[in-house]
Amino acid sequence: MIELPDLLTARNIVYRSMPPTPQYRWPLLSEQVGADLWVKHENHTPAGAFKVRGGLVYLDRLRTNEPGAKGIVSATRGNHGQSLAYAATRHELPCRVVVPHGNSSEKNAAMRAFGADLIEHGSDFDDARLEAERLADAEALHMVPSFHRDLVAGVASYGLELFEAVPDLDVVYAPLGLGSGICGLIAARDALGLSTRIVGVVSENAAAYALSWQAGRVIEVNSVSTFADGIAVRIPSAEAFEIIRAGADRIVRVSEDDIAEAVRLLYRSTHNLAEGAGGAPLAGALSEKDDLKGQKVGVILSGQNIDTDWFQQILGGGTPEPR
């Protein structure tokens, strides 16, 4: 458990580099869901996604605890890598990032622009992670995991912002990738002593965490197939799963078409971009709208980093095929 003083310290580190992001009640979205709906706009961070908060805290503490670190390496589908590249550049620390082949070209370009040395390897995130671990050993680099207490403490700052602004939320829907975002939300809620229910949202084509929830233990899947690359996880984190199991209310599955429709609806109603993972929470709320009447509901728009061709397909009424 991460206590409130630790979260406040982490938040101060985040605020050295970025301001808080807004949370707004959008009337058109409230009409669609049939509830009082609030959006937490993590698409407004310097890297276009919530992950930058965790990278800032992790790298700050790495510089303190391992001042002799010669560089870092990690694996990503995009937002985690952008976060680390952004933070590493601020600390003048070399950053290598491994992505799977076929990864988002625009996320790859953003990581390079933030200063990452980008390497393509394997067919999915878990292949890329194994290569990053090999490089860490071979080149004496610090391996940054995708789930870590310092990452959770950093991203929890968005939860503090949301709950301090709207403390009477009944339920919040959050995308569930490897788990730092939803675990940060749980940590913030618990630290503030609130009773808000937290619901994780996964694609039905990347359902490892939902299957794990049902089984009460970590369940791996052989493959994932979703354009919501931020939640395309095949092997859940055991550490994250225990936090989610103890602190979340449930995990819901949504279809690829549901996610695409949520991305369209967010754009039509707010003119904000959402990547697939960023649209998934609204899709989750819409799937349970009959149970949400009269409630105050939050959804986490976790990121906006969607490739142009996919967004064009979505605006045209389609659903992108994952690469």
Cβ neighbourhood burial of 235 (10 Å; 0-12, 13-18, 19+): middle
pLDDT of residue 126: 82
Residues whose CB is less than 8 angstroms from the CB of residue 238 and which lie 6 or more positions away in sequence, other chains included: 218
251 φ, ψ (degrees, to nearest 5): -125, 130
Helix (H), strand (E) counts: the chain: 13, 10
Domains of the chain, each with CATH number or no CATH: 4-49+149-315 (3.40.50.1100), 51-143 (3.40.50.1100)
> Identity (one letter) of the amino acid at 52?
V
Per-position pLDDT tens, the chain of length 323 = 799 999 999 999 999 999 999 999 999 999 999 999 999 999 999 999 999 999 999 999 999 999 989 999 999 988 999 999 999 999 999 999 999 998 988 999 999 999 999 999 999 888 999 999 999 999 999 999 999 999 999 999 999 999 999 999 999 999 999 999 999 999 999 999 999 999 999 999 999 999 999 999 999 999 899 999 999 999 999 999 999 999 999 999 999 999 999 999 999 999 999 999 999 999 999 999 999 999 999 999 999 999 999 999 999 999 999 87
Please state the pTM of the whole predicted model. Answer: 0.95
Q: How far apart are CA 21 and CA 13, in angstroms?
A: 15
Q: How far apart are CA 230 and CA 175, in angstroms?
A: 8
For residue 300, give Cα distances in angstroms to 41, 68, 198, 225, 262.
7, 37, 11, 22, 12
Q: How far apart are CA 247 and CA 304, in angstroms?
A: 27
SS3 198: strand
| Paired tokens of 139 | 């080149």
pLDDT of residue 254: 98
Report yes or no: 306 and 263 within 8 Å, Cβ to Cβ: yes
Would you mind telling me the total number of residues written for the chain in this entry?
323
Which segments of the chain does DSSP mark as H helices, in order? 4-15, 27-33, 51-65, 79-90, 105-114, 125-139, 149-165, 180-192, 208-215, 238-247, 256-270, 276-287, 308-315
pLDDT of residue 12: 98
| Paired tokens of 213 | 């929830």
Residue listed under structure tokens 């988002």: 104
pLDDT of residue 221: 94
What number of other Cβ atoms are within 10 A of residue 133's Cβ?
16
Report yes or no: 273 and 41 within 8 Å, Cβ to Cβ: no
pLDDT of residue 124: 85
| Paired tokens of 215 | 């089984």
Distance of CA 131 to the CA centre of its chain: 22
pLDDT of residue 1: 79
